[in-house]
Structure 1
Amino acid sequence: MRAAPPAFHILAKPTGAICNLDCKYCFFLSKEMLYPGSRFRMADELLDTYIQQLLEAHQVPEVTIAWQGGEPTLMGLDFFKRSVEYVEKYKRPDQRVAHTMQTNGTKLDDEWCAFFKENDFLIGLSVDGPQEMHDAYRVNKGGEGTFNQVMGGLDYLRKHEVEFNILCTVHAANADHPLEVYRFFRDELGAQFIQFIPIVERATEQLLPLVNMGWSEKSGVERPLYVQQGN
């Protein structure tokens, strides 16, 4: 019988696929249709059980509780206050627990960010670059760009000195502008850590010659290079 791993990482999605945005590239947009009648909300009893079992299963002193979506802030602040209470209830004396959340940032305000600061949350903020690039795909239910709302959320994070990083999706609107995107995150947003998720074609050994031919025809354009680790 295989022994349980001493540590592992789980991304919990308490709202399932539910989100307040309608990003054009999102693979979750129609997922709710697959589960008719589902509430798409983690019940409090399940939250209690999840936190308890997650902490019990880790045989290492450092545990990360990570929330993602959909959009996790749609659960409401009280849900995450309870999650912190359950952590304090169930963690062992030798355990140190880190809290993280990936969010689109549109629902953040003083109350949310004061809570994040008080409980040392690390926030991943989804931004796809400067406004024109971001708004090309990250739109609300009315099809309008969300850049200004996200920047408003970032202002609250800064105001309360909440640690944050940036998650950027690489797509048709920003793939040809890597330096502009990077400098925007570094210089204008003050990001210390940036993660990129490509949803563009991956260049395999067979396709690389075609890619090179294509770039040879694009004089004066920055050539982005994205290196993938693993398969």
Structure 2
Amino acid sequence: MGIPFYRKAVEFQQRYCGGKTIVNTFQTNGILINDDWATFFREHDFLVGVSIDGDAALHDEWRVTRSGKPTHEKVENAVRCLAQHDVEFNTLTVVNRTNMHHPVQVYRYLKSIGSRYMQFIPLVERCGENGLAQPQDKHIAMTPWSVDSLQFGQFLNAVFDIWIREDIGDIGIQLFEQTLAAWCGLPPQVCVFAPTCGSAFAMEMNGDVYNCDHFVYPQFKLGNIHQKTLRQMNQGEQNRQFGSDKQRSMAQECHRCQWKFACYGGCPKHRFLPSASGATNHNYLCAGYQAFFSHTATAMSAMRTLYEKGISPAEIKSIFV
């Protein structure tokens, strides 16, 4: 699907929006971005997310072409092209078994290419004899490229320590902002840390709609956009059940955890470790999340106090200088 497809999509939006404001975002690995794409994005005010996992040594460890060729140079050129055309972009970094050991290097690099909003996504994949595991599969080995749970927390802690001293207020980091929102009693910005699921559909090219992009499996298909409206699928019993299952299936440890308000058991896709009850519903990333929430608690509490006084939480930077 090239530019003509998306240009037609924008035309349909403008024709049928009925006065509503539509915001378009576009996630890409960047390898095909050129001046034509950048011009289109700028013309229609697209926000572009670029997947990049660090500098060349870190990025090219896993992000290669089908023929095994590195992709970092193309991605960096894409970022440069977007910046030259004044296209708003952010970065999505998958934290994996390689770059999890280099948090400072990753963060400094992302700053150097002009990223002002960052997402750090943990790579958690399991692999059985017949390929990647299904959600219901238990006792399946982790892939060798998956992030270690505790190491993920330590990665976040190292980035947080730099960010709060140097860049808070200038650079946004999704997980840090989400955690502060939880401390301040604000609605969750990320479905992973919401009490319930069911608000982040995934749609395939043929119109099939699924509960979530982490659950694109037959048993989680809600229907097809050619037969049902999104409203019907959203309000249907299957989606309500999917949403409430997150809370209902939470591990016993989560209900007792002091960080429940910030985590709510994390993403159900990652709940496959044995819990105290014997059920396999404990989140694989629990150790990392707990390390992060504990490490940042003092700063989060201080920022909440600033927020409650009507002062920007970014003012905390002066305390850490």
Fold shared by both chains (TM-score > 0.5): yes
Amino acid at match of 1:100: T
Q: 1:194 aligns with which of 118, 126, 143?
A: 118
Identify the residue that residue 14 of structure 2 maps to in structure 1: 88
Deviation at 1:180, TM superposition (A): 1.1
Identify the residue that residue 75 of structure 2 maps to in structure 1: 150
Structure 2 residue 34 is matched with structure 1 residue 109: yes
Q: Higher RCO, 1 or 2 (CA under 8 Å, sep at least 6)?
A: 1
Q: TM-score normalized by structure 1?
A: 0.57
Corresponding pairs, count: 138
Deviation at 1:156, TM superposition (A): 1.2
Deviation at 1:115, TM superposition (A): 0.5
Deviation at 1:125, TM superposition (A): 0.2
Q: Deviations over 1:5-37 (max 9, x none)?
A: xxxxxxxxxxxxxxxxxxxxxxxxxxxxxxxxx
Identify the residue that residue 161 of structure 1 maps to in structure 2: 86
User: Are the equivalent residues in 1 in contact too, given 2:97–2:148 (CA < 8 A)?
Assistant: no
Deviation at 1:158, TM superposition (A): 1.1
Q: 1:131 aligns with which of 51, 56, 60?
A: 56
CA distance in 2, matches of 1:179, 1:100: 28
RMSD of equivalent CA atoms: 1.9
Identify the residue that residue 220 of structure 2 maps to in structure 1: none
SS in 2 for 1:138: coil
Deviation at 1:185, TM superposition (A): 0.5
Q: Deviations over 1:185-226 (max 9, x none)?
A: 11x1111100011111334xxxxxxx7xxxxxxxxxxx4246
CA distance in 2, matches of 1:140, 1:125: 16
CA distance in 1, matches of 2:84, 2:156: 35
Identify the residue that residue 76 of structure 1 maps to in structure 2: 2
Q: Deviations over 1:132-184 (max 9, x none)?
A: 00000000011011000111111210110100000000011100111111111
Identify the residue that residue 224 of structure 1 maps to in structure 2: 155
Amino acid at match of 1:131: A
> Structure 1 residue runs of 4+, over 3 Å off?
225-229
Amino acid at match of 1:174: N
Deviation at 1:92, TM superposition (A): 1.6
User: Are the equivalent residues in 1 in contact too, given 2:25–2:48 (CA < 8 A)?
Assistant: yes
CA distance in 2, matches of 1:109, 1:82: 19
Amino acid at match of 1:224: F
Whose helix proportion is higher, 1 or 2?
Answer: 2
Identify the residue that residue 173 of structure 1 maps to in structure 2: 98
Q: Deviations over 1:12-69 (max 9, x none)?
A: xxxxxxxxxxxxxxxxxxxxxxxxxxxxxxxxxxxxxxxxxxxxxxxxxxxxxxxxxx
**Structure 2 residues not aligned, in runs of 5+:** 124-146, 158-174, 176-191, 194-262, 267-321
